[in-house]
Structure 1
């Protein structure tokens, strides 16, 4: 939005006040588009740094929800540092114990295929698996 100042005059008051009004920009394209490859490298780096020594034990099981929240916040902050203007950054992190099982994760959105995008990364060690998905949803 662009800013425009309009002077307000009051015949009684000696100093006029400035009233700010905002005009719409009508910009439909982002200045910097969501770069899927850059975001994927960020997610991979954070997952490896934070999870390479994590073991899924009974004691650690209680900490997994907090770890998911911490990872999501860390990833969101790192992606926001890339300055994707007018993008809402949504992060979903899933962590589970490796036990010879299969996992299917499904997310469904209605979005603009020209502006919106996502990046995802998987991590595995002998004890856990993790999946992180970052959605960049354009706000017009």
Structure 2
């Protein structure tokens, strides 16, 4: 009976853990029914060492580096998108605040003629330049033939320009040919005409021995 009473009086033991200052192992004290504390060795948990620890640290470093690169790339992309949006807003604001374009038609004088199609000055100049370069490329200066040469070239130029000239225009061609060995000369012309409907085309050409200046007047008549 006494033994049974003793077994019935046994209480559950309570286990407490205490941190030990020793680096090799930790001890666990156990309190039994008698009230005495008995030390008990508990294996200490140490972090992995060697290659495993190095791999773990390398993985953490690589993950942190990848996350930093991604963050920087996202910041750059956000900055570029903001700059583009700001430029678009500025361009839209300029277009909205810009003054409307007013088309001013050329004023025609009361006494001026008003042709339906005006003389094509630029096209005529290109035709004359190509014509003189073809005709005078291999020609040397000779005073005895200059008078005949100028007449023939003027007639050819008038026929060439007539193909692109609108109707009701009269053409007048003038030409001067000189030697490059002598002193230079200046060719000028002056006339009274309608500045709105009439026009003039000037073209120059030079080779090794001579120069040529051609003028074509286009006078409109009603």
Fold shared per TM-score above 0.5: yes
Q: Does structure 2 retain, via aligned residues, the 8 Å contact 1:30–1:85?
A: no
> SS of 1:77's equivalent?
helix
> Which one has the bigger helix percentage?
2
Q: 2:195 aligns with which of 113, 121, 126?
A: 113
Partner of residue 5, structure 1: none
Partner of residue 67, structure 1: 149
Q: Distance in 2 between matches of 1:66 and 1:84?
A: 29
For structure 1, list consecutive stretches of 5 or more residues without a partner in the other structure.
1-27
TM-score (norm 1): 0.74
Runs of 4+ in 1 over 3 A off after TM superposition: none
Q: Does structure 2 retain, via aligned residues, the 8 Å contact 1:34–1:136?
A: yes
CA shift for structure 1 position 100 = 5.1
Deviation per CA, 1:87-110, whole angstroms, max 9, x where unpaired?
A: 110000111111252211121100
How many residues get paired? 110
> SS of 2:219's equivalent?
strand
Give the number of the structure with larger relative contact order, counting CA–CA contacts within 8 Å between residues 6 or more apart: 1
Partner of residue 134, structure 2: 49
For structure 2, list consecutive stretches of 5 or more residues without a partner in the other structure.
1-112
* 1:35 corresponds to 2:117: no
